[in-house]
Amino acid sequence: MIELWYAIVALLLAAYVVLDGFDLGAGALHLWIAHVDRERRAVLGAIGPFWDGNEVCLLAAGGALFVAFPTALASGLSGFALAIFLVLWSLILRGIAIEFRSHVGDPLWRSAWDAIFCGASTLLPVLLGAALGNVLRGVPLDEHGWFELPLFTDFSASPPVGVLDWYSVLTGVFALVALAAHGAAFLAWRAAEPVHERARRVAAALRLATAVLWVAATAATAHVNPTLFHHLRDRPLAWLAAAAALAAFVLSVVAGGRGRERLAFVGSCAFLGGLLAATAASLYPMLLRGVGVGAHSLDAANASSPRHGLAVALGWFAVGLPFAVAWFVVQFRLHRPREPVASEGEGY
């Protein structure tokens, strides 16, 4: 039961990254690939049917952590309090910017909200990537499962650690570039011209940058947490997921080069999902790794809820999951064709 809930939490987090990742990437890029108001409304129109539903996956992942591993969630929320507030403010400002920017026709008003949308969409991947870097590197957990971190110390990845160091910054930059490539692939598939063509060119460049940073981040992870890769010998699922991520990345590059934008986007989705699946399989059963003298760790066994509670929650999860999947399927089928930019006053 514990193993199943670990997989459910990993699945929901991966679903959030894949689904909300493309509109985060589109938001981070939209000032650079959409130059005038009509083009920026084309970007917002492309992600408009999806962005708020995609964010529900983050709530679902948080709910799953609360149900299955409340100790780890409480520790993480306390230790990463500043980063959590920054994430929440970024999410709030993104939503406000999308909804408010076209309420007033003044160019200054729209430019201000466009800048806020771009800034929040850029900051979120960096924060989430840095958070993953902290989980992979480890945090100074005490015997009660609590920790606190300064923003940074000496910028090394060795104890005493801070939220930011060279490794967490690297994982944050990798997350930003990978999601920007994901967003560019989505816009190349969904956006109207001229955003479509610009997105194709940007996606090609960002895929190259993603490949370089992927290698760098993998090597850095092996340096700061060598035990993670020692486990790979006995984790065939991790090898399988890593191989799937590599194959999906190649598919995305080849399909994008041949102008098959939808297939390139599917490859990008599979790449991110495979990468996160490989990470989760390598980490299991660890939730929060302790580092430093006398540090403790929180894993799936010592941070889980009672077995009966997990069984009851699994029943409700089995009821709700088909409805959520059906909603996403219907949304993507309804908005499958590339639509022209709506006229002023009729949409974004």
Q: What tokens were used for 2? A: 């514990």
Listing DSSP states for 288-301 in one string gives: E-B-STT-B-EETT
- Residue 342 forms part of a structural domain: no
Q: What tokens were used for 288? A: 């929060």
Give bridge partners of residue 152 from the DSSP assignment: 164
Amino acid (1-letter code) at residue 43: V
Distance in angstroms (rounded) separating the CA atoms of residues 99 and 297: 42
Mean pLDDT of the chain: 89
Q: What tokens were used for 171? A: 């994982």
Distance in angstroms (rounded) separating the CA atoms of residues 221 and 227: 10
- Residue 54 forms part of a structural domain: yes
- Residue 344 forms part of a structural domain: no
- Residue 78 forms part of a structural domain: yes
Tell whether the model's pLDDT for residue 97 goes beyond 90: yes
- Residue 341 forms part of a structural domain: no
Side-chain half-sphere of 87: how many Cα atoms within 13 Å? 16
- Residue 86 forms part of a structural domain: yes
Q: What is the pLDDT of residue 192?
A: 80
- Residue 343 forms part of a structural domain: no
- Which position has the higher pLDDT, 338 or 312? 312
Q: Please, which residues have CB within 8 angstroms of residue 348's CB and are 6 or more apart in sequence? A: 41, 44, 45, 48, 98, 101, 102, 342
**Torsion angles phi and psi, residue 139, rounded to 5:** -135, 160
Give how many domains the chain has, as a whole number. Answer: 1
CA dihedral angle for residue 299, residue 302, residue 305, residue 308, rounded to 10 degrees: 110
- Residue 220 forms part of a structural domain: yes
Distance in angstroms (rounded) separating the CA atoms of residues 217 and 279: 12
Res. 228 pLDDT band, cuts 50 70 90:
confident
Res. 301 pLDDT band, cuts 50 70 90:
confident
Q: Which residue has the tokens 């809930």?
A: 5
- Residue 64: closest CA among 327, 346, 283, 309: 309
Structural domain boundaries enclosing 92: 2-334
Q: What is the pLDDT of residue 153?
A: 78
Res. 120 pLDDT band, cuts 50 70 90:
very high
Long-range contacts, stretch 80-85, CB < 8 angstroms, 24+ apart = 80/131, 80/134, 80/149, 80/163, 82/151, 82/163, 83/127, 83/130, 83/131, 83/163
